[in-house]
Amino acid sequence: MDFNILRQVLQNELLDMKINHYDKGTSGTLGLAEKYLSNLEYCSSKRVEKASIEMIYRNKPFGFLHGQSPSTNTTKAIRTANNKLKTEKILADGNINTTRSTIFEMEEYEKAKSMVNESKHLMVIKPYNLNAGRGITLNVDPTNFDFAWKQALKAYEKTTQKFKVLIQPMLPGIETRMLIVEGHFNSAILRVPSNIIGDGKLSIKELIDEKNNIRRVNPHLKLLPIKISETLEYNLELNGNNLHTVPEKNELIFLHFSSNISLGGDSYEVSHLINDSMKKLAEKSVAAISGLSTAGVDILFRSFHDEEPAVLEINPGANLRMHHYPWKGTPKSPVHDLIDSMLSSYKSGLK
């Protein structure tokens, strides 16, 4: 994440946008799907299990939604996309610019440290098989490698997963989640790392509390407040700040380096700013994995007109609901669009 580019994009394009307000929201992606199906003629749904629904047309199933992933995604495709190294190879073989990662296990600490020490680039260290931004550290160099490794270790403490970290060079640019629904570009969310804007009066801690109060009226973001953590306080200290610092009026302070919404980041819907070549790149990336039709593609670019962006990863379980309730920007409706596409395909097969 290049914060100079991000600041420029925010100041030039996004900060003046109004924060979205929602009268009410529907709980979860499955809830959105159930509500939409109930309003479609001859359609209904049935809970198969807690995280899955069967979608029904004229008393016959036309598809399933398992969590965030539709039945049009094959099990093999999901497994492939979740294997970051295999995905990188598939993308590279398809001449798609992507990351070059290395995986290290617990006993390879010294080997991983040597790699970072010898690198001429800043690195990213993140848990190989965890989600929601847990344990990720950006801008890793020899001075903070131990901190980054410990953050990954801590992220694994409450899981049954075997410790593995993925280390990759930091690429220049800012990250956006491009959502592909049934093979076609649907929407784009610029995920901005957790931040506050000073008013010259309140402390960082008070500004965090104030922003969390605003997030509580967003049906999606209310579940993802900015949390005070060791990592957040460490990030503040890097720039000579702490929770009691009073930022100047309009001073933008980032609390995390990772852009995950789950860490209290902001979601900006930016489909109208994304150039066509990046939209096609996202579609091509999903198509590169046989059997995958709906997924999120995380793309890093230097500007909205970048002709040489890089694909960071493909997420077959990308959160669809967040595109319905962005922090700023025009809300999209990928859950509805997904159902419409699957239903249309089913009806075509009946003819």
Q: Which of 322, 176, 247 is nearest to 255 (CA)?
A: 247
State how far the Cα of 146 lies from the Cα of 294, in Å rounded to an integer: 37
Q: What residues does 104 pair with on adjacent strands?
A: 165
State how far the Cα of 310 lies from the Cα of 88, in Å rounded to an integer: 11
pLDDT at residue 233 in the model: 96
Domain boundaries, the chain: 100-170, 196-263
pLDDT at residue 292 in the model: 98
* pTM of the full structure: 0.91
pLDDT at residue 272 in the model: 96
| The residue to which tokens 């309730």 are assigned | 325
Q: Roughly what angle, to the nearest 10 degrees, separates helices 28-38 and 334-350?
A: 50
Rg (CA), the chain: 21
Q: Is 102 helix (H, G, I), strand (E, B) or coil?
A: strand
By the 10 Å C-beta count (0-12 exposed, 13-18 middle, 19+ buried), 249 is classed as exposed
Q: Which of 180, 168, 173, 169 is nearest to 315 (CA)?
A: 180
Q: What residues does 19 pair with on adjacent strands?
A: 328
pLDDT tens for the 351 residues of the chain, in order: 789 999 999 999 999 999 999 988 777 999 999 999 999 999 999 999 889 999 999 999 999 999 999 999 999 999 999 999 999 999 999 999 999 999 999 999 999 999 999 998 899 998 988 776 788 888 899 999 999 999 999 989 888 889 999 999 988 899 999 999 999 999 999 999 999 999 999 999 999 999 999 999 999 999 999 999 988 999 999 999 999 999 999 999 999 988 889 999 999 999 999 999 999 999 999 999 999 999 999 999 999 999 999 999 999 999 999 999 999 999 999 999 999 999 999 999 887
pLDDT at residue 132 in the model: 65
Domain 100-170: give its CATH architecture. Answer: 2-Layer Sandwich (3.30)
- What separation in angstroms does the CA of 22 have from each of 145, 224, 266, 288, 328? 42, 16, 16, 37, 11
**What DSSP assignment string belongs to 192-225?**
E-SEEE--SSS-HHHHHHHHHHHHTTSTTGGGS-
